[in-house]
Chain A
Amino acid sequence: MRRCRRLLELFGVFFKIGLFTFGGGYAMISLIGHEIGERRRWISPDELTEVFAIAESTPGPIAVNCATYVGYRREGVAGGVWATLGVVMPSFIIIYAISLFFERFMALSVVANAFRGIQVAVAFLILRAGLRLAVRLPRRGFELGVCVAAALLVLAIDALGWRFSTVWLILCGGVAGLLFRRGAKGEGGGWR
């Protein structure tokens, strides 16, 4: 009974996250941090950042990866499945409905206008997620240098239109950590 309630709660929380995730996975990091890290404290700040890194470097949409991981940590395999179902269900319902009335939907100017506003919120949410992660990093040359270098590289990649997977960046970060931060303890860094 208790387990049933926890599974339903997982489904509900990730349904909400799926419903309000616009513009891809990065915007959702703000939302997951807020719901899972701050409000419910299901997962520690450190672990949450690691989940984002893993989600970014494993196949599949980031939102789905995060949902599966958090669900599994709460309630094992069943939790992973329920959380994933929750995060996918809103888009499935909405897109299926839109696909039935595609032409008419696109013609609605109210919808188009609302989405232009939402674009701004998406930019804001992604920036906020990035700032929160950056502020919590240990204030040391190594972390700050790596953070700035990664940011500049991503900006250059976007501006020049290179095709370069961010997975490689994460791998480079891991190698740099192994080389320069031997024996690091689980300190600092993470959500909030």
Chain B
Amino acid sequence: MTLLELFSVFFKIGLFTFGGGYAMLPLIRQEALSRGWMDEQTLVRFIGVCESTPGPIAVNMATFVGSTQAGLAGAACATLGVVLPALLVMLLIAAALKGFRENTLVRSAMSGIRPVVAGMILAAGLWTAVRCLLLQAGEGGVTLRPDMRQVGIALALCAGGLIWRRGLKKPFSPVLLILFSAVCGIVAYGF
């Protein structure tokens, strides 16, 4: 029963989550709290972990909630539930889009959509950068104060990227950037 419930709750969450994981957090919170799956404190702490571990936040939350409720099988059911709607919808769209992209109406719509996507991602990047370099969450809310160590890490990443590009004539790949930044974090905050 629990397995079926986990699957169906997360299927619903996966079906009604548009535009990435953050939109889904309120939904998961409500379901998990009202069903007594966990308390508020555990949930908040785990959201932090999900944001900082690899993978889509929705999948991470599903795996975690499922695992705490019904072990490995629960984790598998919840994860399958959250992924299945996206899989089915995308398969349909990908199949439909094949000839669709040649359509002139679709083309003109896409020429308006592409700049929106670029603008949205730019804004998300700016916001993330400001939040992690300049804003400090502490007691009494958020204050505007640069975190010098984060700024230092940012400079180190830029310098590292430049040297890499000059030296090896290859772009600094995202994977390398993440590994390098993890080392920088350990050095900057560890000593």
Chain A interface residues (CB < 8 Å from chain B):
16, 18-26, 29-31, 34, 38, 46-47, 49-50, 52-65, 68-69, 72-73, 77, 80-81, 84, 87-88, 90-92, 94-96, 98-100, 102, 105-106, 109-110, 112-131, 133-134, 137, 142-144, 146-155, 158, 165-167, 169-170, 172-178, 180-186, 189-190
Contacts and interface: CB of A to CB of B under 8 A. Distances in A.
B70 to A, nearest CB: 12
B4 interface: no
Contact of A133 (B72, B118, B189): B118
Given A94-B54, A113-B188, A151-B120, A189 B72 contact: no
Contacts of A110: 186, 190
A158 B123 CA distance: 9
Which of B113, B120, B125, B126 has most chain A Cβ within 10 Å? B113
B86 A60 contact: yes
Contact of B122 (A31, A90, A134): A134
Given A22-B54, A124-B157, A133-B118, A58 B90 contact: yes
Contacts, number: 397
Interface residues of B, number: 94
Contact of A183 (B15, B89, B104, B128): B104
A123 B112 contact: no
A154 B124 CA distance: 7
8 contacts: A22-B51, A31-B174, A50-B113, A61-B56, A95-B67, A123-B132, A146-B119, A175-B112
A166 B110 CA distance: 16
Nearest to B53: A94
B150 A119 contact: yes
Given A26-B20, A63-B55, A117 B120 contact: no
B177 A125 contact: yes
B37 interface: no
A177 B175 contact: no
A92 B125 CA distance: 26
Interface string B116-152: 1111111111111101110000000000000001100
Interface of B: 14-23, 45-46, 49-60, 63-64, 67-68, 72, 75-76, 79, 82-83, 85-87, 89-91, 93-95, 97, 101, 104-105, 107-129, 131-133, 149-150, 153-154, 157, 171, 173-175, 177-178, 180-186, 188-190
Contacts of B108: 177-178, 181-184
A117 B181 contact: yes
A121 B120 contact: no
Nearest to B131: A123
A131 B122 contact: yes
A52 B189 CA distance: 35
Contacts of A144: 115
Nearest to B158: A124
A146 B112 contact: yes
B121 A95 contact: no
A59 B86 contact: yes
Contacts of B95: 72
B90 A80 contact: yes
A111 to B, nearest CB: 9
Contact of B93 (A23, A69, A127): A69
A113 B112 contact: no
